[in-house]
């Protein structure tokens, strides 16, 4: 069975309800980490072994989606050195990712001089060409989302279905295209309400906007996530259900969503 496991669903930082943005897409042979927000490694390690992971895709380099990359890289290179796995980030951000090693490399430990480079095969996602990349059984196509930094909406296509992740975004054609006909659409719903500067300037969604994108895309199952105020999450689910005819799930840490193909 193909599933999406929620490792963290908080915006900005971890909180009482768990880690920041992080998800695990897995089938019988492949497990891909989507985003590495702070707390993601701890959440993963509670129920999984590091050897299970096939690769990592980071939608964008805001800290609530990427800060734990250093934790993952440290664990990958010390005390034992594990086989390198692919790490994809938007190609425009490869230079900024290199600075992670400059800041957090440990010159006195040979395997940790450049932890990111030592742990991962680092590769770029071309957000405009929409060129698919492969990790195990998954073909992953990036689409440009609408956010304050280069941000990739991700379309995962595998033998058992299609999963889309919106990344952080405002309403845009890229996310609609990424989610077209998706069996599961994991979509940010950061705030209950927002002005135009937040929605179209910085790039975030409300539950009503998330539901509208899911409807336009013809997705079957909408999973709301990335909550600025987790106490509002259930109300967001109720709002989304009024604007989307398919199934609506409110993400919570530890939840597993089955991917059921049409």
Cβ contact 66:60 at 8 Å: yes
Instruction: Supply 231's token pair.
Output: 């106490």
Rounded distance between C-alpha atoms, residue 159 and residue 259, angstroms? 11
Q: How confident is the model at residue 180 (pLDDT cuts 50, 70, 90)?
A: very high
* Structure tokens that stand for 7 in this block: 């490792």
Say if CB 177 and CB 143 are below 8 A apart.
Answer: yes
CA distance linking residue 203 with residue 248, whole number of Å: 22
pLDDT 10s digits, 109-158: 999 999 999 999 999 999 999 999 999 999 999 999 999 999 999 999 99
pLDDT for 137 equals: 96
pLDDT of residue 37: 98
Residues 118, 77: Cα–Cα separation, whole Å: 7
3-state secondary structure of 242: helix
Cis amide linkage into residue 14, ω under 30° from 0: no
Q: What is the pLDDT of residues 220-234, one digit of tens each?
A: 999 999 999 999 999
What percent of the chain is predicted at pLDDT more than 70?
Answer: 100
What length is written for the chain?
262
The residue ranges of DSSP E strands in the chain, in sequence order, are 2-10, 19-20, 22-26, 31-34, 55-57, 85-90, 120-125, 133-135, 138-144, 152-158, 161-165, 184-188, 221-225, 247-250, 256-259
Q: Is the pLDDT of residue 260 over 90?
A: no
Q: Cα dihedral angle (45, 90, 216, 140), rounded to 10 degrees?
A: -60
Does the pTM exceed 0.75? yes
Tokens found for residue 194: 């927002």
Which pair of tokens denotes residue 71?
């934790």
Residue 153 has, within 13 A of its CA and on its CB side, a CA count of 29
Nearest in space to 18 (alpha carbons), one of 241, 237, 246, 230:
230
Alpha-carbon distance 48 to 26, whole Å?
12
Q: What's the pLDDT at 262?
A: 75
Q: In this model, does residue 187 exceed pLDDT 80? A: yes
What does DSSP assign to residue 137?
Answer: T
pLDDT band at 67, cuts 50/70/90? very high
Helix, strand and coil in the chain, % to nearest 5: 30, 30, 40
* pLDDT on residue 261: 84
Give the pLDDT band of residue 53 (cuts 50, 70, 90). very high
């Amino acid at each position: 069975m193909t599933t999406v496991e929620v490792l963290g669903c908080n915006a900005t930082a971890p909180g009482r309800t768990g880690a920041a943005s992080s998800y695990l897409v897995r089938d019988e042979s492949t497990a891909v980490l989507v985003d590495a927000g702070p707390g993601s490694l701890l959440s993963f390690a509670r129920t999984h072994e590091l050897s299970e992971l096939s690769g990592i895709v980071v939608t964008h380099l805001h800290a609530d989606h990427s800060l734990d990359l250093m934790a993952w890289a440290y664990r990958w290179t010390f005390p034992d050195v594990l086989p390198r796995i692919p790490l994809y980030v938007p190609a425009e951000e490869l230079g900024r990712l290199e600075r992670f090693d400059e800041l957090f490399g440990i010159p006195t430990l040979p395997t940790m001089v450049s932890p990111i480079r030592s742990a991962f095969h680092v590769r770029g996602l071309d957000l405009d060409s929409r060129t698919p990349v492969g990790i195990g059984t998954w073909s992953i196509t990036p689409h440009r989302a609408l956010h304050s930094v280069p941000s990739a909406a991700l379309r995962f296509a595998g033998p058992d279905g299609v999963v889309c992740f919106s990344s952080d975004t405002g309403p845009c054609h890229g996310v609609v295209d990424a989610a077209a006909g998706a069996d599961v659409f994991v979509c940010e719903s950061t705030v209950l309400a927002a002005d135009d500067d937040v929605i179209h300037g910085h790039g975030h969604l409300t539950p009503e906007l998330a539901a509208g994108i899911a409807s336009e895309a013809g997705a079957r199952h909408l999973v709301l996530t990335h909550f600025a105020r987790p106490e509002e999450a259930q109300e967001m689910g109720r709002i989304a259900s009024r604007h989307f005819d398919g199934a609506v799930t409110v993400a919570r840490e530890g939840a597993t969503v089955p991917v059921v193909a049409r």
